[in-house]
């Protein structure tokens, strides 16, 4: 989070630039000022035209973001990196139709802008020349051309059917409307990796450093997404009962953080809070650290605990638990039965259970849901 700087915010979404972002501006200045022989004017031109490109990238990411908000998916921030922008969503919807719309909304913004620019150019009799060949100029016509071509490039490039590009997500969503979600992800990721490999080899043989970088980005992105989905699919049918721990200290609202720290020294990191045995809140490790750092150890548990963490029950599916870990950025969740704390479940418990289930599947029967 500290690796980026906030520029401004739109509808509660922070637009941030990554600390490596100025590299692309330096590159553009060098490209047009030194290599292109444009001198100071060329360098300025490079910086302005690349900045313009990133304004369009931001609009593209806002397209994704507004579609996500429409479906109630929270958008945490948009980060601009030298190789493009990322809209960080609270979670990706598993609903293929929603993923389809969210993924398509970004490129749709660029298509709309390209049509608008092309139409306006026709109306005013401006000629749209390819800015990559027309050289250094910043006339009104050239700016129209830039916006037009950049939008076309952004739309086409992002619709390449390679995970984690928008085209790859659209492809997965379309497949998932007919096939199983996990299977669809494997297919889309396989296509993504193959295209990335071809693109990378092409870049390598043509000395295009940027293409190689993008190929690596796509390849690792496809691999990560496939692995994450596969992991979650493996959890389906297992319940909290099979993995949770009932050995957990339960805090009282009046306890001080000083007492909690004693427990952390014994390996406990996340704590349910109960009053007269009834669940009232949750104190996760991140929250505990932040409270200790800002206001010290003499605060009460009641003043720092999260009151909005919905507990899980013994029959909750582990797939849903894992989804909530990702969605709520928690490492553990409280387990209750009839409102009473019975334990805690963490990603460590889940991984441990999966390892044992792999060795002795007969000891961990899956509940077959419909
Ligand atoms: Zn996109």
| 296-350: pLDDT as tens digits | 889 999 999 999 999 999 999 998 898 888 878 888 999 999 889 999 999 999 9
Q: How far is the CA of 240 from the centre of ligand 1 (A)?
A: 36
Count structural domains, the chain: 2
Q: How far is the CA of 69 from the centre of ligand 1 (A)?
A: 15
Write down which residue in 208, 235, 262 finishes a domain. 235
**Domain check: are 231 and 262 in the same one?**
no
Write down which residue in 193, 220, 235 finishes a domain. 235
Burial class for 294, CB neighbours closer than 10 Å (0-12, 13-18, 19+): exposed
**Domain check: are 216 and 341 in the same one?**
no
Q: What is the mean pLDDT of residues 360-370?
A: 77
Task: Establish if 369 belongs to a structural domain.
Answer: no
Task: Establish if 310 belongs to a structural domain.
Answer: yes
Other C-beta atoms closer than 10 Å to the C-beta of 113 total 21
**Secondary structure class of 30 (helix, strand, coil):** helix
Phi, psi torsion values for 238, nearest 5 degrees? -90, 150
Asked if the bond preceding 296 is cis, omega within 30° of 0, the reply is no
**Domain check: are 253 and 338 in the same one?**
yes
Q: How far is the CA of 269 from the centre of ligand 1 (A)?
A: 37
279 pLDDT above the threshold of 70: yes
**Domain check: are 161 and 249 in the same one?**
no
Q: How far is the CA of 204 from the centre of ligand 1 (A)?
A: 25
**Domain check: are 174 and 35 in the same one?**
yes
pTM of the model: 0.75
Write down which residue in 235, 268, 303 finishes a domain. 235
Residue 353, domain extent? 240-363
Locate 97 and state its tokens.
């139709």
Residue range 160-207, pLDDT digits in tens: 988 878 999 999 999 999 998 889 999 999 999 999 999 999 999 998
Residues 6+ apart with CB under 8 A from 190: none
**Domain check: are 337 and 279 in the same one?**
yes
Task: Establish if 33 belongs to a structural domain.
Answer: yes
Report the alpha-carbon angle 273-278-279, nearest 5: 40
Task: Establish if 214 belongs to a structural domain.
Answer: yes
**Domain check: are 190 and 70 in the same one?**
yes
Q: How far is the CA of 34 from the centre of ligand 1 (A)?
A: 32
Average pLDDT, the chain: 88
- The whole-number pLDDT of residue 368 equals 63
Q: What is the mean pLDDT of residues 60-80?
A: 93
Contact 80, 54 (CB under 8 A): yes
**Domain check: are 226 and 247 in the same one?**
no
CATH of the domain at 304: 3.10.580.10
Return the bridge partners of 77, or none: 14, 88
**Domain check: are 167 and 46 in the same one?**
yes
1 pLDDT above the threshold of 50: no
Q: What gap in Å lies between CA 335 and CA 240, rounded to an integer?
A: 8
Residue range 204-258, pLDDT digits in tens: 999 888 889 889 988 998 898 888 888 888 888 899 999 999 988 899 999 999 9
CA R_g for the chain: 25
Q: How far is the CA of 158 from the centre of ligand 1 (A)?
A: 6
Phi, psi torsion values for 282, nearest 5 degrees? -140, 135
Task: Establish if 183 belongs to a structural domain.
Answer: yes
Residue range 135-151, pLDDT digits in tens: 556 667 777 788 888 89
Q: What gap in Å lies between CA 191 and CA 220, rounded to an integer?
A: 13
Percent of the chain with pLDDT over 70: 95
Q: How far is the CA of 88 from the centre of ligand 1 (A)?
A: 11
Contact 301, 252 (CB under 8 A): yes
Characterize the bridge pairing of strands 332-337 and 340-346.
antiparallel
- The whole-number pLDDT of residue 370 equals 40
Q: What gap in Å lies between CA 226 and CA 192, rounded to an integer?
A: 10
Q: How far is the CA of 65 from the centre of ligand 1 (A)?
A: 10
Q: How far is the CA of 304 from the centre of ligand 1 (A)?
A: 37
Question: Which position has the token pair 């929603």?
Answer: 98
**Domain check: are 189 and 51 in the same one?**
yes
Task: Establish if 368 belongs to a structural domain.
Answer: no
Q: How far is the CA of 103 from the centre of ligand 1 (A)?
A: 6
Task: Establish if 289 belongs to a structural domain.
Answer: yes
Task: Establish if 296 belongs to a structural domain.
Answer: yes
Q: How far is the CA of 126 from the centre of ligand 1 (A)?
A: 29
Q: How far is the CA of 282 from the centre of ligand 1 (A)?
A: 36
Residues 6+ apart with CB under 8 A from 276: none
Contact 311, 274 (CB under 8 A): no
Q: How far is the CA of 167 from the centre of ligand 1 (A)?
A: 8
Q: How far is the CA of 169 from the centre of ligand 1 (A)?
A: 10
Q: Outline where the chain has alpha helix (H).
A: 22-30, 39-70, 96-123, 131-134, 140-158, 166-176, 181-205, 209-235, 257-264, 285-295, 301-304, 318-328, 347-359
**Domain check: are 13 and 116 in the same one?**
yes
Q: How far is the CA of 242 from the centre of ligand 1 (A)?
A: 39
**Domain check: are 222 and 328 in the same one?**
no
Contact 54, 7 (CB under 8 A): no
Q: How far is the CA of 106 from the centre of ligand 1 (A)?
A: 5
């Amino acid at each position: 989070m500290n690796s980026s700087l906030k520029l401004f915010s739109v509808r509660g979404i922070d637009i941030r630039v990554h600390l490596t972002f100025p590299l692309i501006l330096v590159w553009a200045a060098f490209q047009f000022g030194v290599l292109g022989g444009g001198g100071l004017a060329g360098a300025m031109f490079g910086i302005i035209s690349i900045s313009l490109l990133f304004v369009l990238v931001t609009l593209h990411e806002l397209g994704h973001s507004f579609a996500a908000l429409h479906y109630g998916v929270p958008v945490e921030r948009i980060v601009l990196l030298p190789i493009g922008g990322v809209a960080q969503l609270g979670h990706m919807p598993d609903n293929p139709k929603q993923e389809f719309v969210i993924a398509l909304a970004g490129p749709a913004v660029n298509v709309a802008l390209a049509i608008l620019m092309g139409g306006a150019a026709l109306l005013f009799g401006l000629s749209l020349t390819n800015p990559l060949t027309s050289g250094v100029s910043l006339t009104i016509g050239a700016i129209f051309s830039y916006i037009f071509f950049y939008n076309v490039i952004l739309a086409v490039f992002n619709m390449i059917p390679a995970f984690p590009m928008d085209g790859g997500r659209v492809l997965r969503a379309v497949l998932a409307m007919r096939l199983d979600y996990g299977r669809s992800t494997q297919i889309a990721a396989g296509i993504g990796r193959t295209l990335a490999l071809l693109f990378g080899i092409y870049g390598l043989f043509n000395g295009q450093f940027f293409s190689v970088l993008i190929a690596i980005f796509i390849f690792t992105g496809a691999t990560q997404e496939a692995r994450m989905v596969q992991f979650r699919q493996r959890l389906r049918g297992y319940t909290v009962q099979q993995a949770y721990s009932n050995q957990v200290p339960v805090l009282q609202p009046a306890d001080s953080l000083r007492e909690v720290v004693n427990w952390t020294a014994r390996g406990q990191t996340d704590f349910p809070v109960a009053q007269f045995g009834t669940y009232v809140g949750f104190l996760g490790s991140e929250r505990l650290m932040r409270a200790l750092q800002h206001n010290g150890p003499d605060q009460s548990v009641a003043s720092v605990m999260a009151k909005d963490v919905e507990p899980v029950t013994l029959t909750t599916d582990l797939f849903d638990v894992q989804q909530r870990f990702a969605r709520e950025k928690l490492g553990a969740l409280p387990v209750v039965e009839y409102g009473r704390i019975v334990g805690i479940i963490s990603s460590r418990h889940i991984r441990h259970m999966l390892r044992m289930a792999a060795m002795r599947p007969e000891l961990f029967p899956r509940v077959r849901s419909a």
